[in-house]
Amino acid sequence: MSVIEWQPAFSVLVSRFDEQHKGLINLINDLHSAMQRGEGQVILGNIFNSLVDYTKNHFADEERLMEANGYPDISRQKNSHDLLLKRVVELQGEFVKGNSVLSVTVLNFLRDWLTNHIQGEDKMYGRFFNDRGIF
Protein backbone atom coordinates (compact mmCIF):
# COMPACT_ATOMS: atom_id res chain seq x y z
CA MET A 1 0.00 0.00 0.00
CA SER A 2 1.31 3.42 -0.86
CA VAL A 3 0.83 6.51 1.20
CA ILE A 4 0.34 8.58 -1.89
CA GLU A 5 0.27 8.11 -5.64
CA TRP A 6 1.22 10.62 -8.29
CA GLN A 7 -1.76 11.51 -10.43
CA PRO A 8 -2.27 13.69 -13.51
CA ALA A 9 -3.95 16.31 -11.33
CA PHE A 10 -0.51 16.87 -9.73
CA SER A 11 1.05 17.91 -13.04
CA VAL A 12 2.77 21.29 -12.93
CA LEU A 13 3.14 21.31 -16.75
CA VAL A 14 6.95 21.14 -16.62
CA SER A 15 8.06 17.56 -17.23
CA ARG A 16 11.29 17.60 -15.27
CA PHE A 17 9.48 18.87 -12.18
CA ASP A 18 6.71 16.30 -12.60
CA GLU A 19 9.46 13.64 -12.69
CA GLN A 20 11.09 15.09 -9.57
CA HIS A 21 7.74 15.18 -7.76
CA LYS A 22 7.27 11.50 -8.68
CA GLY A 23 10.71 10.83 -7.22
CA LEU A 24 9.75 12.54 -3.96
CA ILE A 25 6.52 10.54 -3.80
CA ASN A 26 8.48 7.32 -4.39
CA LEU A 27 10.79 8.10 -1.48
CA ILE A 28 7.87 8.82 0.84
CA ASN A 29 6.31 5.51 -0.22
CA ASP A 30 9.67 3.73 0.30
CA LEU A 31 9.81 5.15 3.80
CA HIS A 32 6.28 3.98 4.46
CA SER A 33 6.96 0.44 3.17
CA ALA A 34 10.17 0.20 5.17
CA MET A 35 8.31 1.24 8.34
CA GLN A 36 5.61 -1.34 7.67
CA ARG A 37 8.22 -4.05 7.16
CA GLY A 38 9.64 -3.08 10.53
CA GLU A 39 13.05 -2.10 9.15
CA GLY A 40 15.57 -0.77 11.64
CA GLN A 41 16.65 2.79 12.23
CA VAL A 42 19.67 2.49 9.94
CA ILE A 43 17.67 1.62 6.85
CA LEU A 44 14.93 4.12 7.67
CA GLY A 45 17.58 6.73 8.35
CA ASN A 46 19.14 6.07 4.94
CA ILE A 47 15.83 6.55 3.16
CA PHE A 48 15.27 9.72 5.16
CA ASN A 49 18.70 10.99 4.10
CA SER A 50 17.84 10.33 0.47
CA LEU A 51 14.56 12.17 0.89
CA VAL A 52 16.29 15.20 2.40
CA ASP A 53 18.91 15.26 -0.40
CA TYR A 54 16.30 14.80 -3.09
CA THR A 55 14.15 17.55 -1.60
CA LYS A 56 17.10 19.97 -1.43
CA ASN A 57 18.02 19.30 -5.05
CA HIS A 58 14.45 19.62 -6.23
CA PHE A 59 13.87 22.92 -4.46
CA ALA A 60 17.17 24.28 -5.75
CA ASP A 61 16.30 23.23 -9.29
CA GLU A 62 12.90 24.94 -9.15
CA GLU A 63 14.42 28.10 -7.70
CA ARG A 64 17.17 28.16 -10.34
CA LEU A 65 14.65 28.02 -13.18
CA MET A 66 12.46 30.66 -11.50
CA GLU A 67 15.44 32.96 -11.04
CA ALA A 68 16.65 32.47 -14.60
CA ASN A 69 13.20 33.43 -15.94
CA GLY A 70 12.25 36.17 -13.49
CA TYR A 71 9.34 34.32 -11.94
CA PRO A 72 7.43 37.01 -9.97
CA ASP A 73 6.40 34.77 -7.06
CA ILE A 74 9.86 33.39 -6.33
CA SER A 75 10.12 34.78 -2.80
CA ARG A 76 6.94 32.98 -1.77
CA GLN A 77 8.30 29.74 -3.23
CA LYS A 78 11.66 30.18 -1.50
CA ASN A 79 9.90 30.86 1.78
CA SER A 80 7.82 27.69 1.53
CA HIS A 81 10.83 25.65 0.48
CA ASP A 82 12.90 26.93 3.41
CA LEU A 83 10.13 26.21 5.92
CA LEU A 84 9.43 22.75 4.54
CA LEU A 85 13.07 21.79 4.38
CA LYS A 86 13.68 23.02 7.91
CA ARG A 87 10.80 20.90 9.16
CA VAL A 88 11.90 17.81 7.23
CA VAL A 89 15.42 18.12 8.62
CA GLU A 90 13.98 18.46 12.15
CA LEU A 91 11.86 15.37 11.65
CA GLN A 92 14.87 13.52 10.29
CA GLY A 93 16.81 14.45 13.43
CA GLU A 94 14.03 13.22 15.72
CA PHE A 95 13.72 10.07 13.72
CA VAL A 96 17.41 9.25 13.78
CA LYS A 97 17.34 9.71 17.56
CA GLY A 98 15.00 6.71 17.65
CA ASN A 99 11.65 8.33 18.24
CA SER A 100 9.59 5.71 16.42
CA VAL A 101 6.30 7.19 17.65
CA LEU A 102 6.97 9.86 15.07
CA SER A 103 6.38 7.54 12.11
CA VAL A 104 2.74 8.30 11.37
CA THR A 105 3.20 11.98 12.10
CA VAL A 106 6.17 12.13 9.76
CA LEU A 107 4.41 10.39 6.92
CA ASN A 108 1.23 12.43 7.25
CA PHE A 109 3.23 15.61 7.36
CA LEU A 110 5.30 14.69 4.31
CA ARG A 111 2.27 13.62 2.33
CA ASP A 112 0.35 16.77 3.20
CA TRP A 113 3.10 19.25 2.48
CA LEU A 114 3.97 17.58 -0.75
CA THR A 115 0.44 17.49 -2.13
CA ASN A 116 -0.45 20.96 -0.85
CA HIS A 117 2.71 22.58 -2.16
CA ILE A 118 2.58 20.85 -5.54
CA GLN A 119 -1.12 21.50 -6.07
CA GLY A 120 -0.94 25.03 -4.73
CA GLU A 121 2.21 27.03 -5.35
CA ASP A 122 4.00 24.73 -7.80
CA LYS A 123 0.99 24.51 -10.10
CA MET A 124 1.01 28.27 -10.38
CA TYR A 125 4.34 28.32 -12.25
CA GLY A 126 3.22 25.94 -15.03
CA ARG A 127 1.71 28.49 -17.39
CA PHE A 128 4.48 30.97 -16.70
CA PHE A 129 7.16 28.51 -17.82
CA ASN A 130 5.07 27.18 -20.72
CA ASP A 131 4.72 30.74 -22.04
CA ARG A 132 8.53 30.86 -22.12
CA GLY A 133 8.83 27.62 -24.07
CA ILE A 134 9.61 25.44 -21.04
CA PHE A 135 7.51 22.30 -20.81
Number of residues that bind Fe ion (CB under 5 A): 2
Nearer residue to Fe ion within complex by CB, 32 or 81: 81
- HEC profile of 88-133: HHHHHHHHHCCCHHHHHHHHHHHHHHHHHHHHCCHHHHHHHHHHCC
Q: Residue number with the shortest CB distance to Fe ion?
A: 122
Stretch that binds Fe ion, among 26-34, 42-50, 106-114, 116-124 (CB under 5 A): 116-124
DSSP percent split of the chain into helix, strand, coil, nearest 5: 80, 0, 20
Nearer residue to Fe ion within complex by CB, 10 or 48: 10
Residue 122 binds Fe ion, judged by CB under 5 A: yes
Query: What's the CA gap between 30 and 122, in Å, rounded?
Result: 23
Residue 18 binds Fe ion, judged by CB under 5 A: no
User: Residues interacting with Fe ion, by CB under 5 A?
Assistant: 62, 122
